[in-house]
Structure 1
Amino acid sequence: MKVKCQKLINWALPYLAIALMIYIIMYPQIISHGMILGTDSIFHFNRFYDAAKQIQLGNWSYFQSNYSFQQSGRVINAVYGPFFAYLNGILLGLVGTWFRYQIISSFLVYFIGGVGMYQLAIKARAGRRIALLVSLIFLCIGWLPRWELAQNMNAWGAALAPYMVMVGLTMITDQHQPVHWLSLTALMVTIIQIHLLSSIFFTLTLIPFFIVGLIRTSQRGPMIWETAKAVITTIILTGNVWGALLMLNLHNHIAQPAPFDMNINALKPSQFSSARDYLIYFCWLLFILQLLYVLFNFRRSLVNSMVTIMGAMILLISSTWFPWTTIQQVLPTLQTTLQFPSRLTVIAYPLLLTGLAISCQQLVDRTPRSELRSRLITGLLLFTLFQVAIPTTTIVFRRTAIYESDEVLNTSTALAWVTNNSKSLRRSVHTDYPGQLLLKVEKRAPDYLPIPKKYLHRFYVRSYAYQDQVIRPARHFKHTVLSHGRLQLSWKAKRAGKVRLPVITYHESQLVVNGHHLQNYQRSRVGAPYVQQRRGNNTAVLSFHQATWFTVLLTVALIGLVIFLAYGFYRSLLWLPQKYQQIIH
């Protein structure tokens, strides 16, 4: 029994080390109880709060935002990680405050990513020590820390990317069964329900692995069939995502995200940063040496050659050395879709770190003097870890310190209004009433608004229009959420005439003003309706009526996910005893 416990502890040690590293990174925030409110915090907090209130009150509105975004009724969650928003709403409801939510969700992002990188390196046949060190390095670079620092959704793509690479490695190493439809489906459904752009990255990355696997395997028919099963199942289980996008774009001109200068937002070398758009010089040198090693030992390992060359190519494309200035002139749509070329490091880093782990293990396994070489390589990886961990922890410390300053917020980008009372703002992230924060900080984000065609490409016009037409006047109306996901506005007018309501209407929206169902009415450049008010008390009721075919897609996706999760749970019950036996033996 003692031997079994010892083996179990030894197996758990790498995961405890990953948890300890996460604690070190997050320590400045944990010890000070400081909240980091970054570039995307308020936007996503609005999304998750709306989902939390729907769950709490049982008043569901899949499309219409009735509890957040100034209670404007705009569509966000339905087309942006819908089920993931509800999961975050559940987490927020359980923990109660934004601070607790940020600590727990940040830990989850780090831990999922760290464990994934460790398992990926192990799958690539690296030893436990090397696998652990590259996983700790992975925790400190790229987009993974950005969830704690700014609540950027790319962090979730970064956390799941190692699992995607594992699926790719199976395609080229398992010649008997290159594709396991269950794991491929689980991966793609998860990332599509979280972040659509990352799912595109994942798909494009898996294509080369699939082609090589198809060439190498003698089981081409079964491989294609398993892939087809995964594709069909994924389409069914994500019908709520692509169905909502299709329905909304059929009859509305939907605003695209903000355009960005791609060259400015490409990856750059840095002396003291490896987060988001930067990578320290030493890591550049390490990745170049890794590429040279593979080029001189090309035939030694297919896995190493493939992940390294793919990773190096993607890293180059993500950097300022790629002609992004010219490309964005030729393909301007990339400025609103890809936006930041540095996002591609979500894929590049796990690929290159996998290759680095393989190369290090190959050098360690060489004889003679393998022990000396092992110490040198361990020292090199530890040095790299310190090079990336110190800057990342320092950034967390600096951003946490801003919380105690008069500014409180880490950014003022696109903020329409922030309370002058910094003390009340700090209290709002620790109170059990998380909606208070969203009343003290409001952001003008015109994503997914129904825009008249002539304003589609004028981002800043519609951004400030949303601020002037929805955010500022919203406080002059009383908002009440009615049953069946309806939203009621009440106001008192001194005179009759035309008034613009601070809500957003789509082709699918139904608007009833003072008991009259409106069919044709004028709308502003951001979709706010102009209606006739009467003197005295007025009411308007807004509802969103989704297409019947979408309701079918949503129902099928929900039922399918329940069945898929139940099947996955059943398979896990069968797998866990076998895994336990492997550990203790």
Structure 2
Amino acid sequence: MQFWKKSQNIGYVLALLGCAVVLVLPQIVLGSLVISSDSLFHFNRFYDTAMQIKEGNMQYFVSFYGFQQSGRIVNALYGPIIAYLHGGLVVLSPNWFFYQVSANFLLYVLAGYSMYGLLCACRIRPATSCLFSVVYLTTYAIQYWMMRQGFSSWGAAILPLCLIPYMQWMQTKKFDPFKVGISVALAVQVHLMTALFVGLIYAFGLIGILWQKKRVDWSLCWKIVQSIVVFLFLTANIWLTMLLIYQGNTLLPPFINRNMYRSTITYNSTYWIMTPTILIAGVFFMIGEGVLSFRRLSFDRRMLFLPFSFFVLLSTNIVPWRFLVENHFFLAELIQFPFRFFIPATTLMMVYLAKRWQEKVTHRYWHLLVIVCAVGQCLLMNTEANLRWHQSEAPFQTRKHTTHFSEDIQRTKEAFHSTDKQAALLLLQKGTPDYVPIYREDDANKYEAYTEQMILPNADFDKVVQGNQLILRWQGQEGRQRQLPLIIYDRTIVHLNGAPLEGESLQLTTIGAPIVIENAGMNQMTIAYPTPRGFLAVLCVVLFLWLLVIGKYGKRLVIRQRCFKKS
């Protein structure tokens, strides 16, 4: 009997793997890429870390290879560890096509096993756990990466893992400070917005526990302090990086979406609740049952329903997003797209519906019907997106602020299949100025400023990376003023023709591009961003602690082989 149960679990795990293969088949068969709004931004991020790995020249803070070799800071503030993991995948991939297929497959596997582990931890039968794990793969929370390269999907992939301690806490009333601290730290290392979701869900749990006990539990407070300490140790590289960079710089934050009221599940983004179409039935069922039968729900189900309802509410136009952003509410400006709140709602809904399914559905053909509907719709959607590569006159859905350096679309498409990964990034460039320094306030569009100062003039200069320095060379005329396509931060060390430039002698544009007086003939500027003292030691400690975490909890967090049958 034990062997049979173990074989069943292995079968379900293999089924998830097979589902991941099926979902990437349209792209493999068509040999296409999906180049959408965020593709070039992330390709540049990962190309930069890939070249660091390939050349053994680690530059944790600045980009010497990606982003026009401008020396700007991106990865240090945007999931640095996972950026290096993707960079490793880029190194192993012969071209961008192979990378995208591999990344999509790995995302499906990670999301599927993550959800399967969460459902098993909630005492859901293996068959039902597998079913809802497959459905999770077909939701837009995961498809967001496939369709638009929205990095929120990588947060959605690890979100179920982060909620395992939460569900154990709600079911047993036992708070494990180490697992909770690890879970929130994992979210921070992958995606900060996902970390906010995780923190809010745990806050709901804490309020629910205290409400039920009707008193302050000081032992719980002490455990929460312990979890915060664990969290801080495992994310020390993130907070130290922010402290070091923001200490001397005013950075441009990601753009403020003035039309964010359109990016809700009740306006232009209804596809979030219609992918797959059966999802909308689950939304209405969970809301209806939660409202009508709230008092009869068990405590753990209430603590699924309440945060679910909260996130669904935030993803709609019931919240006056237009009013908030027009009146410069900071949190509203930070959010950009309210539909992101539907990601944690989707994750919580999978757990709630899986519990109800296990209780009410006995015939296995319903499992098959749901899988066929969800996977079938997902395959059609993926096929349509990949056909655009071959059939559309505009196969690159990169939207505004994109510069094409070749009018031959076929040449650009071939570059994404080339072994020279930089070729595609040179032919198709997008001016995304996130995290550039702002030295003066003006009304200029920073996307256009970045395009004009970094992208358009970049081909006129020769850039070479030597050790910890980026060297820029160009032919100049005596006494002429020249603006250079580099980004200078507070800690950036600058030399022009061998002489240091600093203080008042260093003239910069609004976004940090240096303006110099050139000499006749060959000119050279070198920039370097030395790693702050003590930072590498902190980073090594953080990496070592994560290795310990993986060694101790990895097997149980990634996949629970022992799923519970309903008694």
Kept in 2, the 8 Å contact 1:415–1:442? The answer is yes
Q: Cα 1:269–1:488, aligned 2, differ >3 Å: closer, same or farther?
A: closer
Residues 377-456 of structure 1: pairs in structure 2 closer than 5 A: 384-405=370-391, 406-455=393-442
Q: Cα 1:578–1:301, aligned 2, differ >3 Å: closer, same or farther?
A: closer
Of the three residues 55, 61, 64, the one matched with 2:62 is 64
Q: Cα 1:582–1:118, aligned 2, differ >3 Å: closer, same or farther?
A: closer
User: Cα RMSD between the aligned structures?
Assistant: 2.9
How far is 1:111 from its partner? 1.7
Task: Please state if 1:187 is matched with 2:169.
Answer: no
Q: Partner letter of residue 516 of structure 2?
A: V
Q: Cα 1:300–1:201, aligned 2, differ >3 Å: closer, same or farther?
A: closer
Kept in 2, the 8 Å contact 1:307–1:352? The answer is yes
Residues 178-327 of structure 1: pairs in structure 2 closer than 5 A: 178-181=175-178, 183-213=179-209, 220-260=217-257, 261-268=259-266, 275-276=271-272, 282-294=278-290, 295-296=292-293, 298-327=295-324
Task: Please state if 1:472 is matched with 2:469.
Answer: no
Kept in 2, the 8 Å contact 1:318–1:342? The answer is yes
Distance 1:119 1:482 in 2: 46
Cα shift readout 1:150-174 (whole Å, capped 9, x = no counterpart): 2211001111121222221122222
Q: Cα 1:323–1:576, aligned 2, differ >3 Å: closer, same or farther?
A: closer
How far is 1:180 from its partner? 4.4
Kept in 2, the 8 Å contact 1:172–1:216? The answer is no
SS at match of 1:525: coil
Of the three residues 504, 517, 537, the one matched with 2:522 is 537
- Give the aligned partner of residue 92 of structure 2: 94
Q: Partner letter of residue 383 of structure 2?
A: F
Q: Partner letter of residue 532 of structure 1?
A: I
How far is 1:310 from its partner? 2.1
How far is 1:394 from its partner? 2.1
Q: Partner letter of residue 267 of structure 1?
A: I
Q: Partner letter of residue 48 of structure 2?
A: D
Q: Cα 1:141–1:215, aligned 2, differ >3 Å: closer, same or farther?
A: same
How far is 1:575 from its partner? 11
Q: Cα 1:46–1:224, aligned 2, differ >3 Å: closer, same or farther?
A: same
Return 5+ residue gaps in structure 2 as ranges: none
Task: Please state if 1:17 is matched with 2:15.
Answer: yes
Distance 2:278 2:221 in 1: 42
Of the three residues 339, 343, 346, the one matched with 1:342 is 339
The aligned length equals 559
Residues 355-370 of structure 1: pairs in structure 2 closer than 5 A: 355-364=352-361
Q: Cα 1:180–1:230, aligned 2, differ >3 Å: closer, same or farther?
A: closer
Cα shift readout 1:433-487 (whole Å, capped 9, x = no counterpart): 21221111111001001113413xx5x611111111111111111101121x211
How far is 1:296 from its partner? 2.0
Q: Cα 1:399–1:425, aligned 2, differ >3 Å: closer, same or farther?
A: same
Q: Cα 1:12–1:219, aligned 2, differ >3 Å: closer, same or farther?
A: farther
Distance 1:352 1:343 in 2: 15
How far is 1:124 from its partner? 2.6
Q: Cα 1:572–1:337, aligned 2, differ >3 Å: closer, same or farther?
A: closer
Kept in 2, the 8 Å contact 1:283–1:384? The answer is no
SS at match of 1:404: helix
Q: Cα 1:265–1:277, aligned 2, differ >3 Å: closer, same or farther?
A: farther
Q: Partner letter of residue 74 of structure 2?
A: I
442-451 vs 215-224, which deviates more?
215-224
Distance 2:152 2:302 in 1: 27
Kept in 1, the 8 Å contact 2:45–2:74? The answer is yes
Distance 1:321 1:39 in 2: 27
Distance 2:371 2:220 in 1: 39
- Give the aligned partner of residue 523 of structure 1: 508
Distance 2:458 2:236 in 1: 34
Kept in 1, the 8 Å contact 2:161–2:558? The answer is no
SS at match of 2:471: strand
Kept in 2, the 8 Å contact 1:146–1:276? The answer is no
Distance 1:363 1:582 in 2: 17
Distance 2:72 2:441 in 1: 20
Cα shift readout 1:379-430 (whole Å, capped 9, x = no counterpart): 6665555554444322211221122245332333331234223333222222
Of the three residues 460, 474, 482, the one matched with 2:466 is 482
Kept in 2, the 8 Å contact 1:66–1:73? The answer is yes
How far is 1:147 from its partner? 1.6
Kept in 1, the 8 Å contact 2:236–2:542? The answer is no
Distance 1:39 1:29 in 2: 18
Kept in 2, the 8 Å contact 1:29–1:397? The answer is yes
Q: Partner letter of residue 402 of structure 1?
A: R
Kept in 1, the 8 Å contact 2:121–2:560? The answer is no
SS at match of 2:37: coil
